[in-house]
Structures are given as structure tokens and as C-alpha cells.
Amino acid sequence: MKEKKVTISAKGASIKQWTDLILELNLIKKAWHRYGVTVTIQTPELKKILAWGTKKYDAKEQWLKRSS
């Protein structure tokens, strides 16, 4: 199948809005993968955005910090 390409430009978006957009696109990428679609995302500091936005919250660790 022929490769399809989309370019997204967000003028005037805040850093938080841009980060949210990248995280949403990553969720779409993961969901479509099971249907055989390979989506690639290219943006500056992609790994940093995904690492920050997909880290897991550890409630036990947070509770231990508060009780100290």
C-alpha cells in the first residue's frame, strides 16, 4: 500500500497543548498498530515528551514521601 503523509503545524499553541497533541498522536499510533498500520511521529524532543507523558504514577512511593 502506498505511504500516506500528513504534516501538522500548530501556530500559537502553548507547550502544554503541543505536548498533549504529541501524546494523543502516540496513543493513536499504538491503537492503529494492532490493525497493521505503522505510524511514525517526527518532532524535536519526541523521546523526552513521551517519557514524561507516559511515566507511571507510583502511589506507594508518593505516600512514603508524604509520611516522612
**How far is Cα 19 from Cα 28, in angstroms, rounded to an integer?**
14
pLDDT reported for residue 54: 79
Q: What is the largest CA-CA distance in the chain?
A: 58
Which residue type occupies 44? P
| CA–CA distance, 5 with 1 (Å, rounded to integer) | 13
The model's confidence at residue 1, banded by pLDDT at 50, 70 and 90, is: confident
Note the pLDDT tens digit of each residue in 18-46: 999 999 999 999 999 999 999 999 988 88
